Chains A and B, each alone.
Chain A
């Protein structure tokens, strides 16, 4: 069952929301200056990365031990996101949780993009039989919701960031495989590829010099969007309790813990959630920018 179209996949345009961009005529903005025009996306993303790498720079508070006297304090200058039931600073927990969430999401994206791209490449270049086998496999992955793939892995092994990332990653293989296959098929039939093959170019050379440069843009755009989707999926599973065990400050887990104090402390659920929304939106905008930059 082919769920999307054989020619021209709408997946990445759908995901990046670039639906209404003109198909041609946009000048490629691959220059550094062009990229800097997207500073309003890049800056917050850089901040998120910095939170993940050097959390200590952004908060002086300890994410794991709190001051019991200050429990459930409302957001203030000292505690921008308030404090939780143990008096821990919620902002510090969000900042320290960034690396956990981003690393799990990154692992998922890495698995999805590498395995998916190889599978798509194989399907598009290794003959009809390989194509059928690879695409039926993709159909099966698509038929089982990402969420359940992750749950099976968590059931069988033990809950934790690794099995979570692996599960979400396996589920995102399908999107990459479809995209790469469609794009490679589109490029492969073009005259310049035929010319390169006829003038004696080997499989790998033609692939590297003529096909991959045309395919890399949409794949990078999907990668950005997939990172956002992975953050959503992982925080959702973390919320259900299948991520790292407490007291690790993981975004989904933070909200899940805050849920018990819904009636007395709105900030425990609302403010970390806003950070997730912002992170996911930023990856979507980044994906749209990449898509634009690579459009010739």
Chain B
């Protein structure tokens, strides 16, 4: 068990280091350095100013020095300085991250609830029609663009019915609707995997034994099937973190909420590369951390993972 945990943590750190390297190399591969690109929008910038700013931010150093200086700073939590505002990237992210965490966290929790509810309804329904309709819901939910769903809901709720405002005003609906939009988008892949996994568990002999003993369908589902099907859904839930972040950016734009989304858009629009770089690293780290957590919870749900000696702890989760 100890070896397994150490191996997982080591791999997670390696992925973050590689992500940092990849982003660093990608920035170097650009035709110009970040300062020149940032100032290119301003035609009056003279070469002396550019050189001075490059020296100030350290972009005139040899590549290898830049690589290790930035890496060292990163280890102390320093993500460099935003070119557009001059303040630290970590400060700018810290200012808005709370709002995004609230949105993304609630949406993620709601997505899990929605996925389980949908699976339970589809598995326990005795009417084939209702069942088929429920089984076809996830593929439909996956095909709906987040921004469109948000706009249609705004159209109906704010314009037609007038029960919510077009801009965030702190009311319950102005927080609940964005969370719901994001959660619907997020729950589709989780529900798909959970439904498939429940279906597979149901074909196993122990379910027949339970039924023969007189257990009700509800008892079998909640007490046995769901428990056995959970690991697969947990894996996919970890992977949806990437989707969650992209979805948050779009949702925040549609509902005019402040947050990381607005910061990303601002950074891209003014071509503030250090800020974009910091946001990408933060996202990669968040994704890796959540998936590390999933890997660590996995053996608790299914102890066979450790003993199977498979390359992946999720070899049994398929």
Contacts and interface: CB of A to CB of B under 8 A. Distances in A.
A286 to B, nearest CB: 12
B246 A236 contact: yes
B250 A239 contact: yes
A292 to B, nearest CB: 15
A10 B147 contact: no
Nearest to A151: B268
A154 B292 contact: no
A5 B189 contact: no
Nearest to A281: B143
A235 B145 contact: yes
Contact of B15 (A1, A17, A276): A1
B246 A148 contact: yes
A242 interface: yes
A1 B11 contact: yes
A228 B11 contact: no
A126 interface: no
Contacts of B284: 140, 143-144
Given A20-B195, A147-B249, A235-B145, A262 B151 contact: yes
B151 A147 contact: no
A79 interface: no
Interface in B60-78: none
Interface stretch (A107-115, A207-215, A265-273): A265-273
Contacts of B315: 5-7
B232 interface: yes
A147 B264 CA distance: 11
B30 interface: yes
Interface stretch (B18-26, B46-54, B109-117, B218-226): B18-26
Interface string B163-198: 000100000000000000000000001001101100
Given A17-B139, A143-B287, A145-B245, A151 B264 contact: yes
B283 interface: yes
A199 interface: no
Contacts, number: 183
A277 to B, nearest CB: 5
Contact of B193 (A2, A10, A151): A10
A145 B143 contact: no
B279 interface: yes
B253 A240 contact: yes
Contacts of A9: 318
A20 B288 CA distance: 31
A242 B268 contact: yes
B265 interface: yes
A31 interface: no
Interface stretch (B94-102, B205-213, B236-244): B236-244
Interface of chain B: mostly helix, strand, loop or mixed: helix
Given A262-B151, A262-B166, A270-B152, A7 B318 contact: yes
B291 A156 contact: no
B210 to A, nearest CB: 21
A136 B14 contact: yes
B154 interface: yes
B142 interface: yes
A21 B312 CA distance: 26
B267 interface: yes
B30 A156 contact: yes
Given A5-B318, A14-B196, A266-B159, 11 more contacts: A5-B312, A14-B192, A140-B284, A142-B287, A236-B147, A236-B250, A239-B250, A262-B159, A273-B148, A273-B151, A280-B143
23 contacts: A1-B288, A1-B295, A2-B311, A3-B238, A6-B310, A10-B196, A14-B236, A136-B15, A139-B18, A143-B19, A144-B23, A144-B287, A145-B245, A146-B242, A154-B268, A156-B30, A235-B145, A236-B250, A255-B147, A259-B151, A262-B151, A262-B154, A270-B152
Interface of A: 1-10, 13-14, 17, 19-20, 136-137, 139-140, 142-148, 151-152, 154-156, 228, 232, 235-236, 239-240, 242, 252, 255, 259, 262-263, 266, 269-270, 273, 276-277, 280-281, 284
Query: 6 closest Cβ contacts across the A-B interface?
Result: A19-B196, A147-B246, A273-B148, A145-B242, A2-B312, A280-B143
